[in-house]
Amino acid sequence: MKLFSNVSRLGVCAFGLMLFAAPVSAAEFGDWDANADARLTSEEFRMNFEEVGVFNAWDENDDLGLTESEFETGLGDDATAFNTRFGDKAFDEWDVNDDDRLSNDEFYDGVYASYDSDGDKIIEEPEFGDIGDGGFWDV
Ligand SMILES: [Ca+2]
Ligand SMILES: [Ca+2]
Ligand SMILES: [Ca+2]
Ligand SMILES: [Ca+2]
């Protein structure tokens, strides 16, 4: 009985630590893989990446579209790192309907596709790679 109550106290304590640590810890593949099948679908990716808030932060006039200038302002000093990682044509490639504006869908699909290096519409753990600690998005 004594042992049991110690164990449960430990459990509560560990849970408290987890809550405390969550906002500052780097994204882990396992955290994003909601159904734990070792595959990130675009839905799982988007759900988590949306929480990072990049699109909304960059969309200065809140019209749910990124112009090239909003995109470049958003990148700021990270432009070089971005171009190295995603290529300097990313904006045009991601702008699927060529209206010089990235919609929500175009943005998330573009980022997703750039991580899905083998193009099988699934992000496996090695492809997830640099999203996490020290990665470009620093999530
Ligand atoms: Ca999954
Ligand atoms: Ca905008
Ligand atoms: Ca577009
Ligand atoms: Ca893949």
The number of angstroms, rounded, from the C-alpha of 133 to the middle of its chain's C-alpha atoms is 11
Q: pLDDT tens digits for 15-25?
A: 545 544 444 45
Q: pLDDT tens digits for 6-15?
A: 555 555 545 5
Q: How far is the CA of 129 from the centre of ligand 2 (A)?
A: 29
Say whether pLDDT at 137 is over 80: no
Ligand nearest to the CA of 55: 2
> So what's the pLDDT on residue 62?
97
Q: How far is the CA of 91 from the centre of ligand 3 (A)?
A: 9
pTM higher than 0.85: no
Query: Where do the domains of the chain lie, and which CATH numbers do they carry?
Result: 26-131 (1.10.238)
- Report how far residue 2's alpha carbon sits from residue 5's, in angstroms, rounded to the nearest whole number: 5
Tokens of 9: 């106290």
